[in-house]
Amino acid sequence: MKAAASILDLIGNTPIIKLPQSITDSAANLYCKLEFLNPSGSVKDRMAKHIILKEQERGTIKPGDTICDNTSGNAGISVAMVAAVAGYKSVFTTPQKTSQEKVDLIKSFGAEVIITPTEVTADDPRHCYQVAKKLAADRGYYWLNQYDNPLNPEAHYEVTGPEIWEQTEGKLTHFVMGIGTGGTISGVAKYLKEKNSAIEVIGVDPVGSLFEAIVAKRPLPEPQLYIVEGIGTDRLVNAFWPQYVDQVIQVSDNDSFLAARFLARTCGLSVGGSTGTLFHAVRQICRELDESAYVLFLACDTGIRYITKYFSNRWMEEHNFRLEETDLSGK
Ligand SMILES: Cc1ncc(COP(=O)(O)O)c(C=O)c1O
């Protein structure tokens, strides 16, 4: 019988699809890698598997231990899934803005979730990062610390980068990715640039986050709140390697949500808000390019996780977001 030995063996090797030129109004070749087809439904399965198996191999953790981390949701879902298979307990902190769908998914794998306030600064003891750190220290849990753990970008340098290089057959000219912990873009960018230094790597960041200023080497502004989940930062993080990123484009919440809805309605791709952020930037990038360009972006997670949010007209109206794109070509 042809069968995988474990759900963990089905992480990665996600397919790439070519998107129609009509959606960018550009001759550039546009491709999307469907990370929502990972077993738990997001790109974060890759780092969860890599870190837990690596730490187990090193003897840092052993089955029966408890893994703890702060998460914007998807990492919690992925780590909870891997922990369930590998025999660990898991506990997560997540800000109040995280969708109920993601919180419930984490719990469905048997994990515990602690909700923390969204509107507090990164150094506040109530911030999800500080609560997870203290919980681990007080109770002897393993703090996975995805935002600063070098094994996070390493997962993408060792696995995602080579996978993308092989699938794109040396043709890639632009790689575009949202930045959350920075693990995905950093590991993939390092690998791709070692193969072909001409590949341009463009990061995408919500308005109010600090990654754009970090890459532009500008003084850091005061971080502002944004609603999109999974990307952006309010503090410096070590999983992000800015030296491999050529530029960062910032996108508003409203443009992110409309772009996510647009992808579902035009291409049948049900994606989350961060993929909308990415796609809005991709349309701007493609407008400057011609048929010699091969652009790839990742569909980081699924729209199913945000059905009660960006995909609900009522939620959009309650948050004073416009429902229609002013210009579908992004011009
Ligand atoms: C929906 C979503 N998009 C993008 C990202 C960014 O990935 P990374 O943390 O590797 O930068 C995340 C990370 O949590 C995410 O949940």
Ligand 1 center to residue 46 CA distance, Å?
A: 11
Q: Is residue 280 located within the same domain as residue 216?
A: yes
Q: Is residue 177 located within the same domain as residue 236?
A: yes
pTM: 0.96
Rounded to an integer, the average pLDDT of 193-203 is: 98
Ligand 1 center to residue 179 CA distance, Å?
A: 6
pLDDT at residue 326, as a whole number:
57
- C-alpha distances out from residue 165 to 16, 189, 190, 202, Å: 12, 11, 12, 16
Q: Is residue 82 located within the same domain as residue 177?
A: no
The question of whether 49 is a catalytic residue gets the answer no
Rounded to an integer, the average pLDDT of 310-321 is: 96
Q: Amino acid letter at 283?
A: R
Is 330 within the bounds of a domain? no
Is 152 within the bounds of a domain? no
330 has pLDDT over 60: no
For residue 327, name the pLDDT band (cuts at 50, 70, 90). low
Is 148 within the bounds of a domain? no
- C-alpha distances out from residue 142 to 6, 149, 237, 284, 299, Å: 23, 12, 19, 42, 30
Q: Is residue 131 located within the same domain as residue 202?
A: no
Per residue in 211-232, pLDDT tens?
Answer: 999 999 999 999 999 999 999 9
Ligand 1 center to residue 147 CA distance, Å?
A: 11
pLDDT at residue 17, as a whole number:
98
255's CB contacts (< 8 A; 6+ apart) are 276, 277, 280
Per residue in 70-91, pLDDT tens?
Answer: 999 999 999 999 999 999 999 9
Is 217 within the bounds of a domain? yes
For residue 329, name the pLDDT band (cuts at 50, 70, 90). very low
Ligand 1, pocket residues at CB < 6 Å:
42-44, 72, 74-75, 178-185, 230-231, 272, 274, 300-301
Ligand 1 center to residue 180 CA distance, Å?
A: 5
Ligand 1 center to residue 2 CA distance, Å?
A: 32
pLDDT at residue 325, as a whole number:
72
Q: Is residue 100 located within the same domain as residue 175?
A: no
Among 33, 34, 40, 43, residue to substitute to test ligand 1 (most atoms within 8 Å of Cβ): 43
> φ and ψ at 229, to 5 degrees?
-105, 145
Supply 70's token pair. Answer: 């702060």
For residue 106, name the pLDDT band (cuts at 50, 70, 90). very high
Q: Considering the candidates 2, 33, 44, 190, report the single residue annotated as catalytic.
A: 44
Atom of ligand 1 nearest to the CA of 273: 1
Atom of ligand 1 nearest to the CA of 181: 9
pLDDT at residue 331, as a whole number:
40
Supply 221's token pair. Answer: 């502004």
pLDDT at residue 75, as a whole number:
98
Atom of ligand 1 nearest to the CA of 156: 10
Per residue in 276-295, pLDDT tens?
Answer: 999 999 999 999 999 999 99
Average pLDDT, rounded, for the chain: 96
Ligand 1 center to residue 75 CA distance, Å?
A: 8
Residue nearest to atom 7 of ligand 1 (CA): 180
Q: Is residue 61 located within the same domain as residue 189?
A: no
3-class secondary structure for the chain? CCCCCCHHHHCCCCCEEEECHHHCCCCCEEEEEEHHHCCCCECHHHHHHHHHHHHHHHCCCCCCCEEEEECCCHHHHHHHHHHHHHCCEEEEEEECCCCHHHHHHHHHCCCEEEEECCCCCCCCCCCHHHHHHHHHHHHCCEECCCCCCCHHHHHHHHHHHHHHHHHCCCCCCEEEEECCCCHHHHHHHHHHHHHCCCCEEEEEEECCCCHHHHHHCCCCCCCCCCCCCCCCCCCCCCCCCHHHCCEEEEECHHHHHHHHHHHHHHHCCCECHHHHHHHHHHHHHHHCCCCCCEEEEEECEEHHHHCCCCCCHHHHHHCCCCCCCCCCCCC
Residue nearest to atom 15 of ligand 1 (CA): 230
135 has pLDDT over 70: yes
Q: Is residue 186 located within the same domain as residue 120?
A: no
Instruction: Supply the range of the domain harboring residue 76.
Output: 44-143
Q: Is residue 109 located within the same domain as residue 203?
A: no
Q: Is residue 104 located within the same domain as residue 234?
A: no
- Cα angle 308, 35, 245 (rounded to 5 degrees) comes to 105
pLDDT at residue 81, as a whole number:
98
CA dist 235 and 240 (Å) reads: 11
pLDDT above 70: percentage of residues in the chain: 98
Number of domain units in the chain: 2
250 has pLDDT over 50: yes
Instruction: Identify which of 217, 148, 214 has the alpha carbon closest to the alpha carbon of residue 183.
Output: 148
For residue 324, name the pLDDT band (cuts at 50, 70, 90). confident
Among 215, 231, 233, 310, residue to substitute to test ligand 1 (most atoms within 8 Å of Cβ): 231
Name the residue with higher pLDDT: 174 or 25: 174
pLDDT at residue 116, as a whole number:
97
| CATH number, domain with residue 269 | 3.40.50.1100
CA dist 329 and 324 (Å) reads: 13
User: Is there a contact between 170 and 214 (Cβ–Cβ < 8 Å)?
Assistant: no
Atom of ligand 1 nearest to the CA of 180: 11
Atom of ligand 1 nearest to the CA of 73: 16
Residue 249 pairs in a beta bridge with: 204
